[in-house]
A and B are shown apart, each in its own frame.
Chain A
Amino acid sequence: MATPVEMPKLGNTVEDCLIARWNKRPGEAVAAGELLAEIETDKATFEVTAPLDGTLLEVFFNQGELVPVFTYICVIGEPGESVEPFRPSRAGQPAAAGPAEPPAPRQAAAAPAAQTAQAAAPPPGAVFYSPRARRFAERHGFYPAPAAGSGPGGRVLEADLRRQFHETSRTSFLAGRLVESGQEVRGEGSGLNRMVLARDLAPPPVRLSGVREKIARRMRDSLAATAQDTLHTSAAAAGLLALRARVKAARRQKPLADITIGDMVMFCAVKALVEMPELNAELIDGSLYRHASVHIGFACDTPRGLLVPVVRDAHRRSLGELSERAGELARAAVEGTIQADDLAGATFTVSNLGSFGIESFTPLLNPPQVAILGVDAIGLKPVRRDGKVEFEACIGLSLTLDHQVIDGAPGARFLKRVRERIEEIEEICGLEL
């Protein structure tokens, strides 16, 4: 006798279920307990099994259709029996003559009953939406970042999407416009119902500029390729300060380069390098190249980042000439008009952070150079003189050397030379003011 199979009610609140898949086609023989169809509520997938042996005479709904509970979905009986008494009436449309789209043939005709529960896990990366979930996503235009759902094999169910839809933070009207203009959401929304407000946004990260990228690489390479060691000392600065005062006074009378304390220290470093050429050198592929000429690079803060212009043949220049050239190069570097040639070829570098009040730091080498001199701030230091403590203006010096080729002692000797030159600057500068 023809027996209809109805859509079961799977839970108190379930009003309709979706036919996820037919496992039998009309005309096929079925055995009692055999899987007929997989069905889905918004929260889980279930199975409908055949209540008796027989032939599947007709199915009333297609895959993907939503069917009210307690509605007949198919009929099992003897071939030739009429199914009409059971055909559900569909609102406004004549009963379908049968599945318009034949169910996709399964790999195996007889699917095991436990099929859905142990459905193969999706391949990594792929997320399967259940038909109901897909329907929800389409209706709400909601496609969250893929994440495994709570269904068998990580299948995303409608309930997963509903929950995510609720939990997804919405943006305020203003924040929406700001996101469109490039701002990014940082952290949880602080507004009503976790709404993302303008204050929860931040500008997107800034890609490093070409110059900055280059600086970054040079700095990394410097640390990776050398064995850096920094020595600190200080020199009495009375001579520097006196000379600087005289320069300032003289400039009121006649045109003269504005010789800064930094220029003076650079000048002293050049003098010391001439005496100790092992620091005026480059280490290239295991060979140390000592240079007779001093081409001195100096670190220069520009709007585009750190640049190191080079004063060529610094050893041949008077203090005034050195200062004038360094001034020209610094201006060009800041204005962005400096030539590539003037940014290369240094044999030694000076970096001056003294004007910022830095008391000591560890300058990074510019390989293949083997040393760099950092110039620190001038400060007062107590000194004992004739049994009394007095305060003396001193300038800090920080020398980083490549310990691969320069040991501490020669480095210290060099610093001592620089210090002596600084302390006698007024005698050696050759300036007529």
Chain B
Amino acid sequence: MESGMYDLIVIGAGPGGYEAAAHAGRLGKRVAVIEKQYVGGTCLNAGCIPTKTFLRSSRLLAECRNAAAFGVRVPAAELDMPAVIARKDRVVATLTRGVEGLLKRTGVEVVRGTARLVSRSEVRVDGRPYTARNILIATGSRPSVPPIPGIQSSRVLDSTSVLSLPEIPARLAIIGGGYIGLEFAGFFAAAGTETTVIEVLPRIASGCDADISARLLQALRKSGVRFLTSCAVAAVDGNTVHYRDENGAAASLCADYVLNATGRVPVLENLGLEEVGVDFTRRGIRTSDQGKTNVAGVWACGDVTGRRLLAHAAAREGIVAVNNMFGKPDRIRYEAVPSVIYTHPEVAGVGRTEEELKAEGIAYRKSLAPMALAGRFLVENEAGMGVVKVLAGEKYGEILGVHAMGDLSSEFIVAAAAMIETEMCAADVAQLVFPHPTVSEAMKEAILQLAH
């Protein structure tokens, strides 16, 4: 068996698993990644990438409808759902080949099957034993199914099954106003579906800064999405969603389909975690900032840790774990992990929100700049809404959080992440040159307002 020993076995080929495996492969290690379903994981096959291709189509549709404002006449634009799905499949196929190529180039062995830990150094894949000095668990997450009567009915979709809906429904009810629910709401509303989002909290996108989430609510309402906030779904009965409104009164809503977007839970079942003694809770496997679990030689990264359910966080966690297991100290710093919601307008943020600063008792200053300050924003968006909010330390002006709404904030938020990583202060940002004309200039403007 010793001769067959791997340096690393990764369970799950999502962004956490495949990035880690490829990184270890590049370091010259003997690596296998075990995947039961699809290389690329949720992200590539049922998450980030498919939803972004859908949203690209709906955005193009909205742009066509608004094309006259840009001096372009487009006759009747409409969505061709089978073609949208076909394009998504093409993009996914291309990217999957890319990941497979990456694993091949880096010498990573891909093993198809379902893995289960039997000890800290042995994994069984559908019964076959594999041994390794290190095991990295990257099994990801799946949609949560809350205990709502009727949620199992065939009219209730989740974020995966909705991706293969061949038709545009006339009416769609979405349970959950988190980023997944909001992205689908934006897509279907643009496609002409009468879309209603039911959210139990008084606000949507609850991880976002409250100012931004309020503006996003307004923007999405304007684009035709209906919101029922502070409303708790009680049951789903055929085409009807029963809920309690903000006053606790019973109410209901009819829809052709219901999308369950209530969040995601880590994939922990049948992994042998109990037998090997790996510490976990309902929310995920407990890990250190180095990616270690409580069991030596067993590591975890990505959604299965329940820390930040984002593809780029998963990838970084995986690489950090690999670095540590092969003797290079590394750690992930969650303070500077950006997050994006790809609605139209899109939302991007990094660092702490104003609510978090208040809760932690950190003294701060803030500024809010309209994106229309940046010429490029007007050029690109015509009448679109956009704003950048910056939070900085009271005394030294160190950048604590940057939260933006407006297209293409996702493309420049990484600059804010770098500022937070290096603890730049607002005054230091004056030394950076921002290209002109770009939307990022609005961020510069907002930061420089705090530079004194």
Q: A residues bordering B, Cβ < 8 Å?
A: 172-175, 177-178, 190-192, 195, 197-198
Contact = CB atoms under 8 A, between A and B. Distances in A.
B393 A174 contact: yes
A191 B396 contact: no
Contacts of A192: 421-422
Interface of B: 331, 333, 393, 396, 398, 421-425, 428
7 contacts: A173-B425, A175-B423, A177-B396, A191-B421, A191-B423, A198-B398, A198-B423
B421 A173 contact: no
Given A190-B331, A191-B333, A172 B422 contact: yes
Chain A contact residues: over half helix, strand or loop, or mixed?
A: helix
Contacts of B428: 173
Nearest to B421: A192
A173 B393 CA distance: 13
B331 A172 contact: no
Nearest to B396: A177
Contacts, number: 31
A190 B289 CA distance: 12
B423 A173 contact: yes
B422 A195 contact: yes
A375 to B, nearest CB: 39
A352 B428 CA distance: 55
A46 B194 CA distance: 82
Contacts of A191: 333, 421-423
A172 B425 CA distance: 9
A372 to B, nearest CB: 43
Contacts of B333: 190-191
Given A173-B425, A191-B421, 7 more contacts: A173-B424, A173-B428, A174-B398, A190-B333, A191-B333, A191-B422, A195-B422
Contacts of A173: 398, 422-425, 428
Nearest to B422: A172
Contacts of A197: 423
B421 A174 contact: no
Closest 10 CB pairs of A and B: A172-B423, A174-B423, A174-B398, A173-B424, A173-B428, A172-B422, A173-B425, A177-B396, A173-B423, A192-B421
B364 to A, nearest CB: 13
Nearest to A178: B396
B395 to A, nearest CB: 9
Contacts of A198: 398, 423
A192 B424 CA distance: 13
A198 B362 CA distance: 14
B382 to A, nearest CB: 37
A158 B231 CA distance: 69
Contacts of A172: 422-424
Contacts of B425: 173-174, 177
User: Which residue, B398, B422, B423, B428, has most C-beta atoms of chain A within 10 A?
Assistant: B423
A178 B425 CA distance: 12
Contacts of B398: 173-174, 198
Contacts of A195: 422
B396 A174 contact: yes
Contacts of A178: 396
A279 B393 CA distance: 61
Nearest to A174: B423
Nearest to B425: A173
A176 to B, nearest CB: 9
User: Which residue, A177, A197, A198, has most C-beta atoms of chain B within 10 A?
Assistant: A177
